[in-house]
Amino acid sequence: MDKGTVALVTGASRGIGRGIALSFLAQGMTVHVTGRTVTDAQAAVHPQLEGSLDGLKAEAEALPGELIVHVCDHADDRQTEAAVAAALRHSGKVDILVNNAWPGYESMVEGDDYTWEQPFWEQPIWRWDAMIGVALRTSFVASRAVAPGMIARKTGLIVNISFWAAQKHHGNAIYGIAKAGTDKMSSDFAHELRPHGVTAISLYPGLVRTEAVMRNAEYFDMSNSESPQFVGLAIAALWVDPNRLEKSGKVHVTADLASEYGFVDIDGKKIVPATLGDF
């Protein structure tokens, strides 16, 4: 068990963030999480937001780690900064920051229009604001807030959840711009943090069995899908790698890390690493 490690996972009420938090808790970490959706009743109002912080709390009760919840709307920088400050007051440090908060998948269908794959000149401008003005921005704001403490201790890990859309057109142009920005941010963070012993990476999950994916499972080939916890296993394995700084500034795929570090998914399944050609 890793009871000395303190992690902060943004956007953990559902999806990948929730899985990462559960994975960390299962290993005994102290895990701070942020999210907007507190109760299942709130989530029920918006089916695309299935999952809540209360639900995460219930699951966490059976796990050895400590969960601390921070209700936070990352569209407000002050709330992001306040959540980080509260985590630091409670635990004295943040060893691992996972920038996962991502409102970009909300409202793919507006009325009767499936706007997700529209060309850039027909994209709703709110999607730019959600993916770049909120998701990309809050990754910067949260990283900016935890970096001084990591630098002072000469250790730390910042993980920015990204995807293959950074490298090829996938879905829509705004999505690609946001993910390319995420990868560039990881690269530049790593350049500036390397002299201080702090690691920053981009991490690409594969097809993850999030709530949204499972609602639409008939449209996916689920044979190589991974649990949300698998992403957390990859980050935890990287954290205990004494040579993790060598991986700083680069893009890593969850299943590649699994192959390198020798772990499998929570159901015992070995995940085949995805490549650019798979998307």
Cβ atoms of 200 and 146 closer than 8 Å: no
pLDDT, tens digit, for every residue of 233-278? 999 999 999 999 999 999 999 999 999 999 999 999 999 998 998 8
- Indicate the residue type of 219: Y
Query: Is the pLDDT confidence value at 40 over 70?
Result: no
pTM for this prediction: 0.94
Query: Is the pLDDT confidence value at 218 over 70?
Result: yes
Cβ atoms of 115 and 124 closer than 8 Å: yes
Mean pLDDT across 48-69: 88
Residue 20 has a pLDDT of 98
pLDDT, tens digit, for every residue of 144-163? 999 999 999 999 999 999 99
Q: Considering 105, 175, 204, 219, which one is annotated as catalytic?
A: 175
Query: Is the pLDDT confidence value at 46 over 60?
Result: no
Strand-pairing partners, residue 114, are: 109
Phi-psi group of 198: left, alpha or beta (phi > 0 → left; psi -120 to 50 → alpha; rest → beta): beta
User: Which SS3 state, helix, strand or coil, does residue 11 take?
Assistant: coil
Determine the straight-line distance between the first and last CA of the chain, rounded to whole angstroms: 36
User: Which SS3 state, helix, strand or coil, does residue 150 take?
Assistant: helix
Confidence bin at 212 (pLDDT 50/70/90): confident
CA–CA separation, 160 and 205 (whole Å):
11
Active site residue 105: no
